[in-house]
Amino acid sequence: MGKIIDGKALSQAVKDEVKEQVPLLEEKYGRKPCLVVIIVGENPASQVYVRNKVKAAAYTGMESRLIELPADISEEALLGQIAALNEDPLVDGILVQLPLPKHIDEEKVIDAISREKDVDGFHPGNVAGLWLGKDCIVPCTPAGVMRMLDSIGCELKGKNAVVVGRSNIVGKPMAKLLLDRHATVTIAHSRTADLGAVCRTADVLVLAVGKAGLVTGDMVKPGAVLIDVGMNRNAEGKLCGDADFASCEPVAGWITPVPGGVGPMTIAMLMQNTIHCFLSREAR
């Protein structure tokens, strides 16, 4: 029977660490860290994510601002807002919730956020920093997964890790973080010939696909650590991951639930990244 890695409890612990730090930082530097979250349009899922991010920031006691912009805002106007926030000395972190409306070039927007305020870790400068092993902001979701692995004392050195999914925001940075801990890493994707065979080699299996029930128990090595990043709605509209929990849980040694797994960790690591940005700016 797989033991559950409780993302909710662990994220609470991370947020509490940040909450303890905020008054100390205010005392030392004369101001609190400040996170700005921008949402464009009314995508219901994005609205929930954004609300949870602002709520978490309020919990920790840091400053936060929510900027809600209409779906038809021009790319130029959005870039103008970002430029102003880049210049604002009281702002430490800027997050633009993705996806953006089709008429706005996401890449341009990500590039426009100054590297030092890029709390999501998506800016090319931070991506390069991650792959070159230099100081950088690590994307929140993979950072949260590493914290989960550490919480169970998972030794990665020499282990086989398989990451299913190769997106810039989850799969690729996830693989690099596992590589940094000396795991032997395989990245699987939609063209992988025999996904089951690849997954069965994994001591640590990270799923970041977006397909409900893609991985079933017969694809999991007995005793493996299974981290499910996927967030999907099943036929009944219930939130679920990429793993078929019912068949994977008895096989895995450890498993993350959906909901209550990686999702809350992503938000907690955003708080930590805001502190990182604050400290880097104050250290200049």
Known active-site residue 47: no
**Which listed range, 15-23, 104-112, 152-160, 210-218, lies at the site for ligand NDP (CB under 6 A)?**
210-218
Separation between Cα atoms, residue 216 and residue 164, nearest integer Å: 13
Q: Return the number of the residue (20 or 107) whose C-beta is nearest ligand NDP.
A: 107
- Among residues 165, 173, 217, 257, the one that binds ligand NDP under rule CB under 6 A: 165
Question: Is residue 230 within the footprint of ligand NDP (CB under 6 A)?
Answer: yes
Give the type of residue at 110. Answer: I
| Distance in Å, CB of 226 to ligand NDP, minimum | 14
Separation between Cα atoms, residue 176 and residue 242, nearest integer Å: 21
Q: Return the number of the residue (86 or 167) whose C-beta is nearest ligand NDP.
A: 167
CB 96 within 8 A of CB 38: yes
Number of residues that bind ligand NDP (CB under 6 A): 26
Closest-CA residue to 169 (of 70, 247, 259, 270): 270
Separation between Cα atoms, residue 166 and residue 148, nearest integer Å: 20
Question: Is residue 192 within the footprint of ligand NDP (CB under 6 A)?
Answer: yes
Altogether, the residues listed in the chain come to a count of 284
Element (H, E) at 110: helix 106-112
Known active-site residue 3: no
Residue-wise burial string across 85-103, b where 16 or more C-beta atoms lie within 10 A, e elsewhere: beeeeebbbbbbbeebbee
Q: Return the number of the residue (136 or 208) whose C-beta is nearest ligand NDP.
A: 208
Three-state DSSP state, 164: strand
| Distance in Å, CB of 264 to ligand NDP, minimum | 8
Known active-site residue 97: yes
Binding footprint of ligand NDP on the chain (CB under 6 A) = 141, 164-167, 169-171, 188-192, 195, 208-211, 214, 229-232, 262-263, 266
User: Would you name the residues annotated as active-site residues?
Assistant: 53, 97, 120
